Amino acid sequence: MRLMAKNSRLKAFSTVIILILIFDLIGCEAFVKKFTRKSKKEDKVEEMVLAPEEYRDTRSKEQIYREYFDFWKSWQTELVESLLQKKSNKKQVSCAQEAIKNLSSLRDLLSPEKQKKLDVYINQMKSLMDSISGDTYGANTSSYMEKAEALRMNILRDFSYKKVSKDISYGASQ
């Protein structure tokens, strides 16, 4: 019995040794590559060539108007929501600033008559933003929310794409 156990151990041991030799002779390039020391030569650093390119916006004025209008609408809605949820004063002022920035971008695309009408709303938004930034404790948040919502509804009513589509072509050129 002991002799059989020794034979089976000897066969297992010899099989393992043979497998190790086979793997060693065949080699594993990924394994060797992983543990080979890399040369310490400095790689050549290629100098970047920066050639200015002029960007041409291929969008139509109508597409640009719709995009800015959607941006304004989302920021105005965010402002109303932040006032409703009494989020930080910084968040509320940031939303108002972004809404004003997008309204100003809309203004540049409109005819002079529509620009004057939009200027009234932009000034109201700036006044609201100044009021919000001055009220660090949020004492008048509900009145600010009502003003922001009223401005949102008025601008949606007066400056939707359907209402101003004929006035967009007079705006600033691309």
Condensed to tens digits (0 to 9), the pLDDT of residues 73-97 reads 999 999 999 999 988 999 999 999 9
Mean pLDDT, the chain, integer: 84
Given a cut of 80, whether residue 29 has pLDDT beyond it is no
Q: Report the percentage of the chain scoring pLDDT > 90.
A: 45
- So what's the pLDDT on residue 11? 85
How far is CA 153 from each of CA 76, 101, 160, rounded to the nearest angstrom?
Answer: 10, 18, 10
Global pTM reads 0.65
8 Å CB contact between 156 and 73: yes
Burial of 170 (0-12, 13-18, 19+ CB in 10 A): middle
Smallest CA-to-CA distance from 105 within 91, 122, 83 is with 122
The angle subtended at Cα 135 by Cα 129 and Cα 140, nearest 5°, is: 90
Q: Any idea which fold 61-167 has? A: Four Helix Bundle (Hemerythrin (Met), subunit A) (1.20.120)
Question: Torsion angle, CA of 88/92/95/101, rounded to 10 degrees?
Answer: -130
The encoded tokens of residue 168 equal 């967009």
Domain extent listing, the chain: 2-32, 61-167
pLDDT mean over 104-114 = 91
